[in-house]
Structure 1
Amino acid sequence: MSDSQLAKLPTSGMRRWQLTPKIRLTSVQATLADDLELRGEGDAHLSLVIMCEGAGWFRLNRQAIQHYCADSFWLSCASGRCQGYDFFPRHHFYHLLIVDFSPELLTLVEECGLRVPGDEPKVFSAALAEPLKAAMLEIQQGWNEASPLAALHLESLALNALWLALGQLQTQQEARPQPTASRLPSRERKRLIAARDVIRQQASEPLSIEEMARTAGLSLMAFKRGFRAMFGITPWNYVIECRLKLAQNLLEESALPLSDIALRCGFAHASHLTRFFQRQYGQPPGRYRSSCQQVRMAG
């Protein structure tokens, strides 16, 4: 929800807290006496809505209507301004938590292999699993502890809730049936092979999955599913794999500092490279470089 929409919510049963400059919490536990319609326009956002009880529906821009329902969650992503409309029917008890994160964290959605928001916003949804529900309740229970340590704890809980939501959405997407390479049309296979070659050649440059799909002449969904069917990996994970290979070569063959290697290989910063390198190779870049030096000296 945008700021203008949140401002129209009934104050009874609602609490808001700007936890940090990058995280805002809104908790609602109330019964509506009248129907509530919310219209508004908001900026780029990454918002997690967790609903234990409630009903209604919402719409972003002119997209299809989506329904609110109990024991569900929604992750709303937009990289630009968008219009929203929410409707909540009267005589329902609403128990929900809204966690608004900085749009800077939108890259996490991309790194999880989910659709990266382009000009149009995107909302992911799933049934509310027990770990995420427990995280929501723990956030609401810790609300009354007004201390710096309590705020730090709530910040960690909010980030953990986002981690749980992204993990569940990623698992949900991976479980969907994917087309096999043998069923892809010959023309589509050729386009996907060409796209893979472009990624490999330009991995260190800024790359957009949506732009690659357009260049290949495929819809975003067809490109992502076809790429995974052909090569057993998502397009973005392949970009990361190619960048890590470049970084690996530079660690072995150069004395460049890690920050320079990260930038040369397309990573935003050294910690970004370190996180992916550790995940791929089981050790941080510095240790890998030391191991390579020891091998050369022993030889």
Structure 2
Amino acid sequence: MRRWQLTPKIRLTSVQATLADDLELRGEGDAHLSLVMMCEGAGWFRLNRQAIQHYCADSFWLSCASGRCQGYDFFPRHHFYHLLIVDFSPELLSLVEECGLRVPGDEPKVFSAALTEPLKATMMAIQQGWNEASPLAALHLESLALNALWLALGQLQTQQEARPLPTASRLPSRERKRLIAARDVIRQQASEPLSIEEMARTAGLSLMAFKRGFRAMFGITPWNYVIECRLKLAQNLLEESALPLSDIALRCGFAHASHLTRFFQRQYGQPPGRYRSSCQQVRMAG
């Protein structure tokens, strides 16, 4: 994660990596205006004591509050993230209402929409120009950040009705801790037979609460996370061993090699055999 106080009125936070640890961001202030742009990733956020809302890929969020606000963002580890957060001066809050996005009272509001190609291109340009340390480069980045805000406001303004995001179910602190513990158990025991029902019972949650809470916390269903962990194990064995595909499938929790092939193709865009061959070619070239 990289942060830069670009100007007194604009701060940038960028993440382009697979997180080894959970990332938590906390902030507090009298008022705020923030734009979050995400190409890839997962997670959730909360403003004040409002209900939790979760992030998803290829989207942006415009968060604004005219009164005092506490913000909390949670990004779970073992996901690849490509996101940019731009915090603007609250002086620009008037632009939000001028665009027809009502922000009544002091409670924070969040608006969201799909990440369009022009907005994504602006996000990329900001991240690419990050390392240019000069007053002229800083001026260029400031103009790009303001352009991103302009694009986001324009997109929200043209929507039929720009309404605050619907809130997700509240997740108490104890429930979040149970879900994080369940996630860690899945990762450690992914190659073993796993039952979502049993994991829910172990976490002390109903099956429905476990599924909903897991998706809200980590942006993925419990079963898809099991598959994701098993595929990562298979990927490592394909890179580092000469085991037959059938043995790799069994070691990683798949009943048959055909099951592994189907999921691997869907996740990585190529069958396991081709992936292994490409890894061998890279090693020989090196």
- Band of TM-score, shorter chain: 0.5 to 0.7
| 8 Å Cα contact 2:54/2:216 also seen in 1 | no
Which runs of no fewer than 5 residues in structure 2 stay unpaired? none
Change (3 A) 1:160 1:246: farther
The C-alpha deviation readout for 1:187-218, integer Å capped at 9, x for no partner, is 99999999999999999999999999999999
| 8 Å Cα contact 1:78/1:117 also seen in 2 | no
| 8 Å Cα contact 2:38/2:82 also seen in 1 | yes
Aligned position for 2:36: 49
| 8 Å Cα contact 2:52/2:167 also seen in 1 | no
The 10-residue stretch of structure 1 (195-204 or 176-185) with the greater mean CA deviation from structure 2? 195-204
Query: SS of 2:38's equivalent?
Result: strand
Aligned position for 1:68: 55
Task: Please tell me the root mean square deviation across aligned C-alpha atoms, in Å.
Answer: 19.4
The 10-residue stretch of structure 1 (220-229 or 128-137) with the greater mean CA deviation from structure 2? 220-229
Change (3 A) 1:205 1:55: closer
- Give, in angstroms, the shift of residue 84 of structure 1: 2.4
| 8 Å Cα contact 1:56/1:89 also seen in 2 | yes
The 10-residue stretch of structure 1 (41-50 or 217-226) with the greater mean CA deviation from structure 2? 217-226
The C-alpha deviation readout for 1:98-124, integer Å capped at 9, x for no partner, is 111100000000100001252100011
Superposition pairs of residues 106-121 of structure 1, within 5 angstroms: 106-121=93-108
| 8 Å Cα contact 1:110/1:236 also seen in 2 | no
Q: Distance in 1 between matches of 2:194 and 2:99?
A: 16
| 8 Å Cα contact 2:58/2:114 also seen in 1 | yes
Change (3 A) 1:220 1:113: farther
Change (3 A) 1:65 1:155: same
Q: Distance in 2 between matches of 1:189 and 1:86?
A: 13
Q: Distance in 1 between matches of 2:61 and 2:162?
A: 18
| 8 Å Cα contact 2:43/2:219 also seen in 1 | no
The C-alpha deviation readout for 1:118-138, integer Å capped at 9, x for no partner, is 210001111111110000001
Change (3 A) 1:72 1:254: closer
| 8 Å Cα contact 2:4/2:11 also seen in 1 | yes
The 10-residue stretch of structure 1 (266-275 or 125-134) with the greater mean CA deviation from structure 2? 266-275
Change (3 A) 1:176 1:254: farther
Change (3 A) 1:78 1:287: farther
Q: Distance in 2 between matches of 1:266 and 1:110?
A: 53
Change (3 A) 1:134 1:205: same
Query: SS of 1:58's equivalent?
Result: strand
- Give, in angstroms, the shift of residue 222 of structure 1: 33
Change (3 A) 1:93 1:273: closer
Between the aligned residues of both structures, percent identity stands at 98
| 8 Å Cα contact 1:111/1:237 also seen in 2 | no
Query: SS of 1:180's equivalent?
Result: coil
Change (3 A) 1:71 1:264: closer
| 8 Å Cα contact 1:180/1:230 also seen in 2 | no
The 10-residue stretch of structure 1 (15-24 or 38-47) with the greater mean CA deviation from structure 2? 38-47
Q: What is the aligned counterpart of 2:219 among 202, 225, 232?
A: 232
The 10-residue stretch of structure 1 (205-214 or 81-90) with the greater mean CA deviation from structure 2? 205-214
Change (3 A) 1:52 1:280: closer
| 8 Å Cα contact 1:181/1:230 also seen in 2 | no
The C-alpha deviation readout for 1:202-237, integer Å capped at 9, x for no partner, is 999999999999999999999999999999999999
- Give, in angstroms, the shift of residue 296 of structure 1: 85
Change (3 A) 1:271 1:77: farther
| 8 Å Cα contact 2:54/2:217 also seen in 1 | no
- Give, in angstroms, the shift of residue 81 of structure 1: 1.4
Which runs of no fewer than 5 residues in structure 1 stay unpaired? 1-13
- Give, in angstroms, the shift of residue 34 of structure 1: 2.8
